[in-house]
């Protein structure tokens, strides 16, 4: 394993657990770059749709992932994304885009195609990486690995509230069903399944307030960064 050029904080966990919030908070507070790896899989799913490639066509999806033409911009805690010069920030955030991302993510060829893209995000002054396999596959030598978890019911409740807040009408039962389906696929796939790295700090956020979760993440990050170079 080669040494990383900058400090990397890897945060993994299932969907709806609050990784995005934790990573956005930490990257703003530390002034670090942010890698939202899920958005890459979401883009591949969308690009397959645009190109008429079926999500179970492994070779076709791999080609699409290799040819991905995307750019990102972080401003005011918000990620904006373009693909083929078209802004797709909202298009990749739908529940369908999440399901499609989870389907293309089982494909090892797609995962390999996205590996360099993700590793190149480790730039000065440091990186906070959000995903499912940040601590296990993409950055196995990250200095701090955190695995956030929460019960499926609690994650579905939070996601449901987010969707209602953003004006989408959907039932809690439908969100719970989709989340169960995505969890099973993400955890049981052969290629880089969702799991905590052996050296990850595990935090169950089911009964934690947002502030308590962020407080614990901040504390771990501060300990890690203050020990660098010792």
Tokens of 128: 């906070």
Q: Is 186 in the site for ligand DC (CB under 6 A)?
A: yes
Among 9, 22, 37, 136, binds ligand DC (CB under 6 A): 37
Distance of alpha carbon 178 from its chain centroid, rounded?
A: 17
- Give the span between the Cα atoms of 184 and 194, in whole angstroms: 10
Q: Are 168 and 175 in contact (CB under 8 A)?
A: no
Among 32, 41, 139, 224, binds ligand DC (CB under 6 A): 41
Residue nearer to ligand DC on the CB measure, 27 or 102: 102
Asked, as a colleague might, if the bond just before 41 is cis with ω within 30 of 0, I would say: no
Q: Is 42 in the site for ligand DC (CB under 6 A)?
A: yes
Smallest gap from Cβ 97 to ligand DC, in A, equals 8
The residue range among 34-42, 75-83, 152-160, 218-226 that interacts with ligand DC, by the rule CB under 6 A, is: 34-42
Taking each continuous run of H as one helix and of E as one strand, the counts in the chain are: 8, 8
- Residues 114-173, interacting with ligand DC (CB under 6 A): 131-133
Distance of alpha carbon 183 from its chain centroid, rounded?
A: 13
Tokens of 101: 């991302």
Contacts to ligand DC by CB under 6 A: 15, 37-38, 41-42, 98, 101-102, 105, 131-133, 182, 186
């Amino acid at each position: 394993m080669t040494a990383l050029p900058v400090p990397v904080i890897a945060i993994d966990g299932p969907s709806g657990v609050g990784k995005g919030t934790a990573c956005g908070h930490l990257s703003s507070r530390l002034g670090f770059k942010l890698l939202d790896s899920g958005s890459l899989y979401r883009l591949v799913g969308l690009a397959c749709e645009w190109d008429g490639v079926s999500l179970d066509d492994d070779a076709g999806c791999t080609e699409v992932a290799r040819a991905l033409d995307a750019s990102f911009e972080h401003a005011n805690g918000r990620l904006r994304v373009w693909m083929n010069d078209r802004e797709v920030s909202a298009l990749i955030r739908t529940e369908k885009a999440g399901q499609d991302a989870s389907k293309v993510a089982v494909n090892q060829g797609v995962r390999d195609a996205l590996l360099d893209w993700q590793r190149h995000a480790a730039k000065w002054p440091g990186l906070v990486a959000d995903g499912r396999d940040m601590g296990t596959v993409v950055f196995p030598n990250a200095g701090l690995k955190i695995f956030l978890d929460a019960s499926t019911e609690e994650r579905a409740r939070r996601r449901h509230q987010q969707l209602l807040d953003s004006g989408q009408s959907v039932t809690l039962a439908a969100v719970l069903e989709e989340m169960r389906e995505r969890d099973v696929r993400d955890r049981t796939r052969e290629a880089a399944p969702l799991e905590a790295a052996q050296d990850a700090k595990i935090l169950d956020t089911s009964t934690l307030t947002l502030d308590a979760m962020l407080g614990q993440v901040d504390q771990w990050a501060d300990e890690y960064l203050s020990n660098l170079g010792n």
